Structure 1
Amino acid sequence: MPELPEVETVRRGLVPVMEGQVITQAQVNRADLRWPFPDRMADRLTGAQVIGLRRRSKYILADLSTGETLLIHLGMSGRMLISAPDGARAALGEFHHVHPAPEKHDHVVFDMANGARVTFNDARRFGAMDLMATAKAGAHPLLAGLGPEPLGNSFDDTYLAGKLKGKNTPIKAALLDQRLIAGLGNIYVCETLYRSRIHPATLAGKLKPRQIAQMVPIIRDVLAEAIEAGGSSLRDYRQADGELGYFQHSFQVYGREGDPCLTQGCDAVVQRIVQSGRSSFFCPVCQR
């Protein structure tokens, strides 16, 4: 499942071709993905101008001139691909591909006034789209219970310490709780805990104030580095221009079971345990 850096990377890729542009035609090729599409979705999108593209947790939100907001969730294999007519490629950017022939899993297609085409392709159909009133977007069932953004000003060590105080769950599970922090997923929590030298099974309420204080900037650094690298390409993920993300080449523990710990002077190897059905990778020496 794409995590915050992957979704932010896609959002940034869509901004140059969608933000400020009118959707001249929206095409919806099936009745549903993970859930049914909203009524008359194609009609409600056609003719609307995209006022702005933002991200909340792992969701892309397109605010429209109609007073509605389009929510986009990529799911496990969803991709937003940008293409352009051959003559418009130079204006839209060197990485935009010429309009390809329609594919089986092209479920939603946006033709923009600038000539760009944005295609939502989702082979597994775990993605989702919905339309809601912009003024009430925060109350949407998928958004209402989310915690603060880890890159936002409201996320700091005071907030995190308050949320973790007395919490009798492993820190790995606590950081994955979207009600506590929005957008963190398995990959980047593993990387954060390794850099913080905290074992993933440590009870959240047992962490010392200094451990929490050092973890907040590490979370920010890990996410910022991943966004800069274009996210992590595991299985199906691609950026909006079709290119791979490259942060997976910088993983220090994730997916490295049996490999040497990268900390200088440490002779241990990376281990893996399963927590709540998800793999946790860690160094048994550096993370005690």
Structure 2
Amino acid sequence: MPELPEVETVKRTLQMLVKGKTIASVSVELPRIIRLPGEPEEFARLLEGQTIRDVERRGKFLRFLLDDMVLVSHLRMEGRYGVYPAEAPRELHTHVLFHFTDGTDLRYKDVRQFGTMHLFRTGEDLVSPPLHKLGLEPLDPAFTLAAFTARIASRSTKIKPLLLNQEVIVGIGNIYADEALYTAGIHPARTADSLSPAELKRLHRAIVDTLADSVLAGGSSIKSYVNGQGEMGMFQHQLKAYGRKNEPCGHCGRPIEKTVLAGRGTHFCPHCQPEVTRRMKKLRRTTSRPTTD
């Protein structure tokens, strides 16, 4: 599934390709993608004549800002957008086509057919499902160490599943959770409330840096991801933990291990990311000493 860097890259590409274009009509070939009462005819009717004023991102969702509507799109596993001449043949698995007045189409393709599109009146999308409960944006200036710490520090949940929780922090999936935890030297099975202030600071910095670096590289093309121009991302060549089972750790040279945590494949270095730290061992020894009267 595309994560924050991939969706951010698609957003930036679409800003260049479709911003300012006006929708003449819409063809919906797979109605279940559209999440709107009266779909898909009402969906097409409401979009006719609307101009795309901008394209934004909220977590892993794209937001197409129109004249008085907002189209919220989730790519799920393998959804992708592309701009084509209107006369170009339709490729297999093309499910929604936005026909512009300039003779081009914005086409949505999805082999797995898991993607979704919601349509709202302007101002309603951020207070309605699926966006209304989303958490902190890790590349937003408001994602400060204080905000991050306040959101997770007191929780007894294991840190990796917590990072994957979109109601806590948005945009982080399996790839970037593994990478950020590796960079911060934190075992993915540690609970959030076991992290020291220094560890929280390292993790906060690792999340921001990892996601920002991936955006600069155009995201990670692990399977089928490409941006709106059909270009692959390059960050997969910089991955230090994810997908590197049995390869040497870049710090200590020992093999990267893979386990399953909360149902997700998880990569880590057991030496550089110890499950029990020296501080925790010392605390356990202190609290286990017998008291004397």
Whether these two folds match at TM > 0.5 is yes
CA-to-partner distance for each residue in 1:9-61, whole Å, 9 max, x for gaps?
Answer: 11111111211221123221232128565551112112101111100000000
The equivalent residue for 2:288 is none
Q: Distance in 1 between matches of 2:104 and 2:272?
A: 49
Of the structure 1 ranges 163-172 and 29-38, higher mean CA displacement relative to structure 2 is found in: 29-38
| SS of the residue 2:270 aligns to | coil
Structure 2, unmatched stretches of 5+, are 275-293
Residue of structure 1 aligned with 2:170, choices 151, 165, 182: 182
Query: Which structure is higher in RCO with an 8 Å CA cutoff and minimum separation 6?
Result: 1
Mapping of 1:122-201 within 5 angstroms? 122-201=110-189
1:48 aligns with 2:50: yes
Partner of 1:15: 15
Find runs of 4+ consecutive structure 1 residues off by over 3 angstroms. 34-39, 113-116
When the two structures are superposed, what TM-score results if normalisation uses the length of structure 2? Answer: 0.88
Distance 2:20 2:88 in 1: 24
Deviates more, 1:22-31 or 1:127-136: 22-31
Deviates more, 1:120-129 or 1:228-237: 228-237
Partner Cα separation in structure 2 for residue 255 and residue 183 of structure 1 = 19
The within-5 A match list for 1:1-288 is 1-33=1-33, 37=39, 40-65=42-67, 67-84=68-85, 100-263=88-251, 266-288=252-274
Structure 2 CA distance for aligned equivalents of residues 46 and 35 of structure 1: 17
TM-score, length-scaled by structure 1: 0.90
Larger Rg: 2
Paired residues in the alignment total 272
On the 8 A contact 2:28/2:40 being kept in 1, the answer is no
Give ranges in structure 1 of 5+ residues lacking alignment: 86-98
SS of the residue 1:210 aligns to: helix
Q: What SS does the aligned partner of 1:135 have?
A: coil
CA distance in 2, matches of 1:230, 1:199: 27
Measured after TM superposition, the shift of residue 73 of structure 1 is 0.8
Q: Name 1:92's counterpart in structure 2.
A: none
Superposed CA offset, 1:235-282 (max 9, x none): 22111111211111111010000000011xx13110011011101101
Q: C-alpha deviations, 1:148-170, integer Å up to 9, x for none?
A: 20011221111121222331111
- What's the C-alpha RMSD, in Å, of the aligned pairs? 1.6
CA contact (8 A) 1:6 1:239 kept: yes
Shift of 1:234: 2.2
